[in-house]
């Protein structure tokens, strides 16, 4: 396997071991994707193109349920990556979706399932409130009540776990970075 030639900011490739990851990319198709992590300007980690990630059109989001990472393909062939929290206990979704809306500090109304589990939640939590689970930004998807969104200070530790009711949860600083890189209509693929 060839290593990606680029090293951002001239930094050495120390602490960037090769790794492999399995993702369900389409029905019945599981492939091994290989890459190497490299430092990046933003908080996103840049990764070399590999497997299906390299085959996806630039600007496509890929969510790996098993690695609990969100990948964004770039026109240069690079792939940016951020850690995420995914749906817990059978609530993770897979398949294709599209970004339907972009929202800054959105208000949040708990879906019926969340309200049933947490009946003391208010009907609406104002945008920007410290207890608003949508955080700093939300990218709503064309799937019912599913979004890629930020988090509260209290939920930061959930990133990298299976913790949500189906949404993709990111650190606020990461979702702001992603929000600025994508547009309405961006395709999103979630796989194992």
CATH of the domain at 53: 2.40.440.10
User: Does residue 149 carry a catalytic annotation?
Assistant: yes
Rounded Cα gap, residues 140 and 160, in angstroms: 20
Q: CA-CA distances (angstroms) from residue 72 to 49, 128, 144, 181? A: 11, 26, 22, 9
Residue 135 confidence class, pLDDT cut points 50, 70, 90: very high
Active-site residue (options: 16, 103, 118, 149): 149
pTM, to two decimals? 0.73
In a domain, 9, yes or no: no
Q: Other CB atoms closer than 10 Å to residue 178's CB: what's the count?
A: 24
Residue 91 confidence class, pLDDT cut points 50, 70, 90: confident
Rounded Cα gap, residues 181 and 171, in angstroms: 16
- Range with top average pLDDT, 19-23, 97-101, 110-114: 97-101
In a domain, 62, yes or no: yes
Domain range for 28 is: 16-191
In a domain, 65, yes or no: yes
In a domain, 88, yes or no: yes
Rounded Cα gap, residues 113 and 172, in angstroms: 24
In a domain, 82, yes or no: yes
In a domain, 8, yes or no: no
In a domain, 2, yes or no: no
């Amino acid at each position: 396997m060839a290593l990606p030639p680029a090293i951002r900011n001239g930094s050495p490739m120390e602490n960037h071991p090769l790794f492999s990851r399995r993702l369900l990319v389409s029905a019945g198709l599981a492939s091994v994707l290989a890459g190497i992590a490299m430092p990046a300007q933003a908080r996103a980690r840049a990764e070399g193109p590999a497997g299906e990630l390299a085959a996806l059109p630039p600007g496509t989001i890929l969510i790996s349920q098993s690695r609990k990472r969100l990948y964004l393909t770039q026109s240069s062939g690079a792939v940016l990556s951020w850690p995420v929290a995914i749906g817990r206990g059978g609530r993770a979704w897979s398949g294709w979706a599209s970004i339907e809306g972009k929202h800054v500090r959105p208000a949040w109304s708990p879906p019926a399932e969340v309200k049933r589990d947490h009946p003391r939640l208010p009907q609406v939590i104002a945008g920007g409130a410290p207890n608003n689970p949508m955080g700093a930004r939300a990218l709503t998807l064309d799937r019912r009540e599913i979004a890629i969104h930020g988090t509260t200070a209290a939920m930061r530790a959930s990133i990298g776990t299976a913790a949500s009711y189906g949404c993709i949860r990111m650190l606020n600083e990461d979702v702001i970075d992603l929000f600025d890189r994508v547009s309405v209509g961006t395709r999103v693929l979630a796989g194992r």
